[in-house]
Chain A
Amino acid sequence: QQQVKQSPQSLIVQKGGIPIINCAYENTAFDYFPWYQQFPGKGPALLIAIRPDVSEKKEGRFTISFNKSAKQFSLHIMDSQPGDSATYFCAASIGQATNKLIFGTGTLLAVQP
């Protein structure tokens, strides 16, 4: 119940395409869903986050879609660029009282020029 399932494991798109990464969870007590981006040789960094009281959040070319009834959320990258090539992790937590995050298994995205 504490798992966050992420797919696909890897993804290759052409420049300008819209990669979509999906995550699913079981624990309905989760109420904070961040996405982290990790470049090779670096630690992950927060990209965008959403709470379940909204169905969508946009920041620049990055959009989180959230489906509370299906217990799923996804990351869309509009007009993807080679510089977006990285590993993306979804995560979830129960409130932020302890700030503990449960991470998905990661998606390696390659955007080809």
Chain B
Amino acid sequence: DVKVTQSSRYLVKRTGEKVFLECVQDMDHENMFWYRQDPGLGLRLIYFSYDVKMKEKGDIPEGYSVSREKKERFSLILESASTNQTSMYLCASSLITGEQYFGPGTRLTVT
């Protein structure tokens, strides 16, 4: 069964903290994605990776960085969290082509 797991379902951080969101997939997928989901804005792509150590910026990369040291793991990093980064963060993975499989999401609150 396809599985994408995210390290936390809920996270509360303070402004200025460094935040790590972890995503692991067990499907040997080449592609991995990080989105943020906000009401009325849909899903917006932050970064994606098409191979280990390879990454590309999505539509809203400002304030974020990513790391993919192993094929199954893709991390999203908020170097200095700000209140406008309070959101639902969704990780997804896919083969080179085809369906994207999503994790359950991490709801991050920055206070």
Q: Which A residues are within 8 Å of any B CB, using their own CB?
A: 2, 6, 9, 34, 36, 41-46, 89, 96-101, 103-106
25 A-B Cβ contacts within 8 A? Answer: A6-B42, A34-B99, A36-B102, A41-B104, A43-B104, A43-B105, A45-B102, A46-B99, A89-B43, A96-B96, A96-B98, A97-B97, A98-B50, A99-B95, A99-B96, A99-B97, A100-B45, A100-B58, A101-B45, A103-B42, A103-B44, A105-B40, A105-B42, A106-B42, A106-B43
CA distance A104 to B97 in the complex (A): 20
B48 — nearest CB in chain A belongs to which residue? Answer: A100
CA distance A104 to B96 in the complex (A): 22
Instruction: For chain B, residues 90 to 111, give those with C-beta under 8 angstroms from any C-beta of chain A.
Output: 90, 92, 94-105
Instruction: Check A105 against B41 for contact (C-beta < 8 Å).
Output: yes
Instruction: Check B100 against A101 for contact (C-beta < 8 Å).
Output: yes
Instruction: Check B103 against A43 for contact (C-beta < 8 Å).
Output: yes
* Cβ-defined partner of B90 (8 Å) among A41, A43, A98: A43
Instruction: Check A44 against B96 for contact (C-beta < 8 Å).
Output: no
Give chain A's interface secondary structure class: loop
Instruction: Check A96 against B105 for contact (C-beta < 8 Å).
Output: no
CA distance A9 to B41 in the complex (A): 10
B51 to chain A, nearest CB (A): 12
Instruction: Check B4 against A43 for contact (C-beta < 8 Å).
Output: yes
A104 to chain B, nearest CB (A): 6
Interface membership of B75, Cβ < 8 A? no
CA distance A45 to B3 in the complex (A): 12
CA distance A43 to B9 in the complex (A): 11
Point out the residues of chain A lying under 8 angstroms from B95, CB to CB: 99
Of A36, A44, A45, A46, most buried by chain B (CB within 10 Å of CB) is A44
Point out the residues of chain B lying under 8 angstroms from A105, CB to CB: 40-42
Point out the residues of chain A lying under 8 angstroms from B97, CB to CB: 96-97, 99
Known interface pairs A43-B92, A99-B94, A99-B98. Does A104 touch B42 (Cβ–Cβ under 8 Å)?
yes
